[in-house]
Amino acid sequence: MIDSDKNYWVQAEAIGSPILLAEKTDLFLYQTNYLYLLHCVWNYFIDYEYVGWYPLLNCQNKSYSNIKSPVNKTIAHCSEAIRTLP
């Protein structure tokens, strides 16, 4: 059985990779990848009304519940991306 769900922590950690690669290589491709990942997170994982990340989405990018991930865990998973910001 294949798990088609999307976990927030995978997305949060993935955001940092293209930032670091763009810094090291100056390749536009990595900047594009970063913007694409950020767009997906921004549009599907973040609840703007009540603030927070949905921890799990199905394959149609719908949250299973209104429960949000703990802020400290989200920050920990985003730390690599946050560390690279100017």
State yes or no: pLDDT of 11 exceeds 90.
no
Q: Is the pTM of this model over 0.85?
A: no
For residue 63, the tally of other CB atoms under 10 A from its CB is 18
Answer for the pair 59, 4: CB distance below 8 angstroms, yes or no. Answer: yes
Closest residue by Cα to residue 53 from 20, 82, 12? 12
Compare 67 and 72 and report the one with higher pLDDT.
Answer: 67
Long-range (24+ apart) CB contacts under 8 A made by 1-4 are: 4/58, 4/59
User: In the chain, pLDDT over 70 holds for what percent of residues?
Assistant: 91
Which residues fall within 8 angstroms of residue 60, CB to CB, at 6 or more apart? none
The band of 79, judged by pLDDT with boundaries at 50, 70 and 90, is confident
Confidence at residue 55, expressed as pLDDT on a 0 to 100 scale: 92
Confidence at residue 61, expressed as pLDDT on a 0 to 100 scale: 94
